[in-house]
A = this chain, B = another copy of it.
């Protein structure tokens, strides 16, 4: 089971019976999730989950739009439970970070451009931080404790990156005019 599949079942279990449209919108609105959950991925995914007996799809007779209400089967509930309780090593690893990736190669730039690049990274991180702060304020006043907590986690990691970027800035500045260094390994 992929992360996205597990996440969809869990969402239906939590907010349950709901439409595929609701699932899609939930992912789109969450600052804490990466998935766009585009129509082209969500509908086939739900079909897969129904085929595997993890969720059920009930057509509402009253709704002429053809809305299908999704709910979780007993096997689905068990799958969610397993997903939450199983903590394989890889989920503990540091997540992929496009900014961290770029820092590997900062030395390919000359001194001025290098400083500009780091400045851009700091600014875009600050913008994300501001956005998440606004969202948290909204979640707090709405009493969405868990969502607020999740966003707090995202914020903590952004803040850690921002602090680290300060150090990056200092270190790559000290390195002088920008010679091309070649470490032995990535």
Which A residues from 5 to 53 make CB contacts under 8 A with B?
A: 7, 10-11, 13-16, 26-27, 29-35
- Say whether, besides A113-B85, A186-B33, A14 and B180 are in contact (CB < 8 Å): yes
Of the candidates B90, B96, B149, the one whose C-beta lies within 8 Å of that of A96 is B96
B92, A95: Cβ atoms under 8 Å?
A: no
**A33 CB to nearest chain B CB (Å):** 7
A144, B29: Cβ atoms under 8 Å?
A: no
Of the candidates B15, B116, B160, the one whose C-beta lies within 8 Å of that of A182 is B15
A85-100 interface mask toward B, CB cutoff 8 Å, 1 = contact, 0 = none? 1111111111111111
Q: For A176, what are the chain B residues with a Cβ–Cβ distance below 8 Å?
A: none
- Say whether, besides A81-B108, A94-B32, A156-B161, A147 and B186 are in contact (CB < 8 Å): yes
Of the candidates B33, B100, B144, the one whose C-beta lies within 8 Å of that of A153 is B100
A91, B124: Cβ atoms under 8 Å?
A: yes
Of the candidates B11, B31, B186, the one whose C-beta lies within 8 Å of that of A27 is B186
A186, B107: Cβ atoms under 8 Å?
A: no
A150-186 interface mask toward B, CB cutoff 8 Å, 1 = contact, 0 = none? 1011111111110111011001000000001111111
Q: For A117, what are the chain B residues with a Cβ–Cβ distance below 8 Å?
A: 84-85, 87
Of the candidates B11, B80, B91, the one whose C-beta lies within 8 Å of that of A186 is B11
A87, B29: Cβ atoms under 8 Å?
A: no
Closest to A158 in B: B94
Closest to A34 in B: B96
What separation, in Å, do the CA atoms of A16 and B183 have in the docked complex?
11
Closest to A106 in B: B84
Enumerate 12 A-B pairs (CB-CB under 8 Å) in ascending A order. Answer: A7-B104, A16-B182, A26-B186, A80-B108, A83-B102, A84-B113, A86-B120, A92-B124, A92-B128, A94-B132, A95-B97, A103-B153
